[in-house]
Amino acid sequence: VNRDNRGRWPIEDILARTDLAALLDELAEPATVSTRGRRWHCPVADHHDNHASVSMYADAHGHQRWRCWSGDDRHRGDAIDLLQATRGLNRGDAIEYLAGRAGIARDTPLPPAPPRPPRQPARPIPLDPAVPLYVEACERVLRTTAGRPVRDWLANRGFDEATIRANHLGADPGRRAMYRNKGLPYGTSLGATFPALDPLGTVRYVQTRYLQPEPGGPKYDNPAGDLGTNPRLAWTAAPSHNNQGLLLVCEGIPDALTAAQAGHRSVAVLGSHAPDRSVVNRLIVQAEQHDLTIVAMQDGDPAGRLWANRLGHLLAQRDHDLQVIEPPTPGTDLNDWARHDPDWSQWLPSREQRISPPTPEPTPTPPNPGLEID
């Protein structure tokens, strides 16, 4: 019996009997269920969150936590933090509320704790052959008249023919024009297909980017979970390699393709979840195998900074440094930057800088090319 001297149960026992998803349903606006798991609109009062930025995860101790991925680091925590943020309760009152909600009373035995949902799917689901077949079909469509708007869109983003071919980019003409198996990207309208490759260049997954997303609809679409586990990392194929010795880690496939086109080894971290240990372990394997320095190409916004911080923190736990490069113009990403400054690579650390760092020097600030954000 671990009750304190006032007969109260430990917070741990109360949280173990709190269903955070149910509490979020009560206190935050649930979003439509997607293949990426459950999402909620951020319940913090001054955050008008159109994008349903809140998701749940289990921390290293298996405790359920919620987090808003919009970039505000304070929009996160456990069930107690959720009540404090949404109901204005102090910590003590929030704990009392949760105890009452879970049927826990002072000086009485604890009700049994519900079983915890598994932290991860028990084992990865192998890739369904329908996914690479979809990728191939879309590659063919890209070469046809129906694929012309996607070719123009890719060219406008600066991707050349060699990059497009090496990475098997394609055009999804939409479900009215192309039949697809259930669970493949839905094909609401015309989209560009960005396969996720494994380190050896085999197609492992795909993301479809709608050229004109429906209002309120997704910009990216993925295969359903039962067609294969999202690999979380999308490697690219560089048409030709430079010898800068860098592994550029990007927030999305288009940025990683920009890096690959410039001859860098590059990879995109997929999904709205933060990089986790599995992601970081796989980055380290590649970096060590090919003697590469890991550089994060973060977007120029608070969410990007949060993302790079998380990545740096996990790499530091494995005794790896992370260099971080941000585009010179706020609110832009690497693809924007490269389109306006073909020499963007000069701002990356050089091999000499990495071999003998005499004294830490401040990172040079790239010149502001004055580009427009689109």
Interacting residue ranges for Zn ion, rule: CB under 5 A? 42, 44, 47, 68, 70, 75
Amino acid at 107: D
- Smallest separation (angstroms) from Zn ion to the CB of 41: 9
Residue 183 φ/ψ, nearest 5 degrees: 100, -15
For residue 195, give the DSSP letter.
E
Nearer to Zn ion, 39 or 180 (CB): 39
- Smallest separation (angstroms) from Zn ion to the CB of 68: 3
Nearer to Zn ion, 46 or 343 (CB): 46
- Smallest separation (angstroms) from Zn ion to the CB of 62: 24
- Smallest separation (angstroms) from Zn ion to the CB of 49: 5
- Smallest separation (angstroms) from Zn ion to the CB of 46: 9
Nearer to Zn ion, 48 or 123 (CB): 48
Which structure tokens are listed for 266? 């590059």
Nearer to Zn ion, 70 or 193 (CB): 70
Which structure tokens are listed for 51? 């994008």
- Smallest separation (angstroms) from Zn ion to the CB of 314: 23
Nearer to Zn ion, 70 or 222 (CB): 70
- Pair type for strands 265-269 and 323-325: unpaired
How far CA 116 is from CA of 68, 113, 231, 371, in Å, comes to 22, 9, 24, 49
Nearer to Zn ion, 12 or 73 (CB): 73
State the Cα–Cα distance between residues 295 and 325, nearest whole angstrom: 7
How far CA 248 is from CA of 98, 264, 269, 322, in Å, comes to 45, 7, 11, 10
Count Cα neighbours of 12 within 13 Å in the Cβ-side half-sphere: 6
